[in-house]
Amino acid sequence: MSPNDILRRVRYIFDFNDKKMIAIFKQGDRKTDRTEISNWLKKDEDPDWVAIYDDDLARFLNGLIIERRGKKEGPPPVAEKSLSNNIVLRKLKIAMNFRSEDILETLARADLQVSKYELSAFFRKPTHKHFRKCKDQILRNFLKGLQLKIHSEKDTSAKPKESPPTPPSS
C-alpha cells in the first residue's frame, strides 16, 4: 500500500478533520498545513496530488500514538526513514493499544483468518528466521476491520437508548 493510501484510510477510520490531522502531525514533530494535507489526501489521478514520504507518514503515526496513548517520558520517538507494512501494523497496534487477540478479531471482521503464529511473525525482527513480511492484503484487511470496528462502535454509541417498556396499568 502506498503511504498516501494509508494516510487516507486512517483519516477516514478515525474521522479526523484537517485541524485534527495538523495537530497529530505536530505531535509527531512535523509541521504541516491544510493545503499540504489536502494534496496528500487527493486521489492519485488528481493533478494536485503529492506523494507523502515515508518519514512524514511515520511522524503522523507517531503523533497518532501520542494522541491516543499520551506522551511518553524521555525523548520523542524517531521517525523511520523507510516504512514497511510491518512497521505500519506495529504502530497502529501500539496506537490502538491492541493485543494479538484484538488484531486477530479485527482481521476476522474483514473476513481474513490469520493464526496467532502467523501474526507474531509480522512483529519479529527482520533478521529472525520466522520473520514474515506483512503483505498489502493483510494491512488492507486490518484497516478495513479497524474501520468496521470503530464505525460500528460509533453507531451503537450514537443510537439513543431505548427506554424500558412501561408496565400496563391496572
Number of domains forming the structure of the chain: 2
26 part of a folded domain? yes
Residues 6+ positions from 104 with CB-CB distance below 8 Å: 114, 116, 119
User: Which residue, 51, 83, 115, sits at the end of a domain?
Assistant: 83
- How many angstroms separate the CA atoms of 138 and 74, rounded? 33
Tell me what pLDDT residue 168 has.
Answer: 57
- How many angstroms separate the CA atoms of 16 and 105, rounded? 24
47 part of a folded domain? yes
105 part of a folded domain? yes
Closest CA to 88 of 133, 129, 48, 43: 133
Asked if residue 79 and residue 90 are part of one domain, the reply reads no
Residue 164 pLDDT class (50, 70, 90 cuts): low
9 part of a folded domain? yes
Q: What is the pLDDT of residues 63-102, one digit of tens each?
A: 999 999 988 888 878 889 999 999 999 999 999 999 999 9
Asked if residue 45 and residue 11 are part of one domain, the reply reads yes
13 part of a folded domain? yes
Tell me what pLDDT residue 76 has.
Answer: 77
20 part of a folded domain? yes
Kindly tell me if the per-residue pLDDT of 162 is higher than 80.
no
Kindly tell me if the per-residue pLDDT of 156 is higher than 90.
no
Asked if residue 96 and residue 77 are part of one domain, the reply reads no
Asked if residue 51 and residue 36 are part of one domain, the reply reads yes
Closest CA to 60 of 21, 90, 93, 94: 21
- How many angstroms separate the CA atoms of 70 and 75, rounded? 13
Asked if residue 70 and residue 17 are part of one domain, the reply reads yes
139 part of a folded domain? yes
Contact 80, 46 (CB under 8 A): no
Asked if residue 20 and residue 37 are part of one domain, the reply reads yes
Asked if residue 72 and residue 108 are part of one domain, the reply reads no
Asked if residue 95 and residue 78 are part of one domain, the reply reads no
Boundaries of domain holding 25:
1-83
169 part of a folded domain? no
Kindly tell me if the per-residue pLDDT of 55 is higher than 90.
yes
- Count of other CB atoms within 10 angstroms of residue 134: 19
